[in-house]
């Protein structure tokens, strides 16, 4: 084994769900390492555990066994307050169905992480620079003309762009994306893909993108496959 330290590492991750008295194993010893600035795609059949893995890596859920390490230091067993901070400041999340708050404008959605991450007064004192930064993020993802639109007034691709801007608001080092183009037509999906690739390059963001979109997989730095609860080398589908 090499001793080089990756950015985010999974060691022997195990996770089961319980259906009544039956244990349904999903992850059976996942070994994975992503390097700083790498764009890693994780492919796998529906139900193979891709979302489960992403949730464990981003501390949205805890493994039954195994470890998650950030720059070589274990993080999955930190106290809840530390894990909240890591979720808010180190990780950014992008989901298939955007998870924008429907009553808030695009700009307010991007400001949300700042409202969650600090006291109201701390937010209030910093509201002007935070607003400027959130506006710049929306401009960066191509939504400068949609700041005050509600999610329902945006297209799917625009909602995902807003969700990407929100994910960047906490200045994450690692972006975790769960089927980010899964609900989009091919054209919008390609746009989202190019945006993620550009952000990865210009900000040195480490990215793990879960997908069964072959297009994403092809444009990643590296592709691994989740099958039988473990990470395997990827073999492109013969389609």
51 part of the interface to ligand ADP, by CB under 6 A: yes
Torsion angle of the four alpha carbons 32, 61, 84, 148, in this order, in degrees rounded to the nearest 10:
100
Q: Which stretch binds ligand ADP (CB under 6 A): 41-49, 84-92, 149-157, 188-196?
A: 41-49
Partner from Mg ion, ligand ADP, none contacting 26, C-beta within 5 to 8 A by type: ligand ADP
Cα 74 from Cα 9, distance rounded (Å) = 9
96 part of the interface to ligand ADP, by CB under 6 A: no
Cα 15 from Cα 187, distance rounded (Å) = 36
Q: Which helix (H) or strand (E) holds 187?
A: helix 186-203
Q: Which stretch binds ligand ADP (CB under 6 A): 47-55, 122-130, 150-158, 165-173?
A: 47-55
3-state secondary structure 86-122: HHHHHEEEECCCCCCCCCCCHHHHHHHHHHHHCCHHH
Three-class DSSP category at 219: helix
Q: Which stretch binds ligand ADP (CB under 6 A): 3-11, 50-58, 68-76, 113-121?
A: 50-58
97 part of the interface to ligand ADP, by CB under 6 A: no
52 part of the interface to ligand ADP, by CB under 6 A: yes
Cα-flanking dihedrals φ and ψ of residue 31, to 5°?
-115, 125
225 part of the interface to ligand ADP, by CB under 6 A: no
Partner from Mg ion, ligand ADP, none contacting 206, C-beta within 5 to 8 A by type: none
114 part of the interface to ligand ADP, by CB under 6 A: no
Q: Which stretch binds ligand ADP (CB under 6 A): 40-48, 91-99, 119-127, 184-192?
A: 40-48
Cα 138 from Cα 236, distance rounded (Å) = 35
180 part of the interface to ligand ADP, by CB under 6 A: no
Q: How far is the CB of 14 from ligand ADP (least distance, A)?
A: 13
CA angle 106, 96, 14 (to 5 degrees): 130
Q: Cβ(111)–Cβ(166) under 8 Å? A: no
Which one of residues 17, 74, 97, 232 is an interface residue with ligand ADP (CB under 6 A)? 17
Q: What pairs with residue 208 in β-bridges? A: 40, 176
Q: Cβ(37)–Cβ(222) under 8 Å? A: no
206 part of the interface to ligand ADP, by CB under 6 A: no
Shorter beta-carbon distance to Mg ion: residue 45 or 62: 45
172 part of the interface to ligand ADP, by CB under 6 A: no
Which residue in the shown chain puts its C-beta closest to Mg ion?
51
Q: Which residues bind Mg ion (CB under 5 A)?
A: 50-51
Contact set with ligand ADP (CB under 6 A)? 17, 26, 44, 46-52
């Amino acid at each position: 084994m090499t001793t080089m330290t990756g950015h985010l590492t999974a060691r022997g991750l195990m996770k089961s769900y319980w259906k009544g008295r039956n244990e349904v194993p999903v992850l059976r010893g996942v070994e994975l390492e992503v390097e700083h600035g790498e764009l890693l795609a994780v492919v796998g059949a529906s139900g193979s555990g891709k979302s489960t893995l992403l949730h464990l890596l981003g501390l949205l859920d805890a493994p039954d066994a195994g470890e998650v390490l950030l720059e070589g230091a274990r993080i999955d067993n930190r106290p809840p307050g530390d894990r909240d901070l890591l979720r808010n400041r180190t990780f950014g999340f992008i989901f298939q169905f955007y998870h924008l708050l429907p009553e808030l404008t695009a700009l307010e959605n991007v400001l949300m992480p700042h409202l969650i991450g600090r006291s109201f007064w701390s937010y209030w004192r910093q509201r002007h620079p935070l607003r400027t930064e959130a506006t710049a993020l929306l401009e960066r993802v191509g939504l400068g003309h949609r700041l005050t639109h509600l999610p329902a007034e945006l297209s799917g691709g625009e909602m995902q762009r807003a969700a990407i801007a929100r994910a960047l608001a906490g200045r994450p080092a690692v972006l975790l994306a769960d089927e980010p183009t899964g609900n989009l037509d091919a054209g919008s999906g390609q746009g989202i893909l190019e945006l993620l690739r550009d952000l990865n390059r210009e900000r040195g963001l480490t990215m793990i993108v879960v997908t069964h979109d072959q297009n994403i997989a092809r444009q990643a730095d590296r592709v691994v496959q989740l099958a039988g609860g473990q990470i395997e080398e990827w073999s492109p589908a013969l389609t």
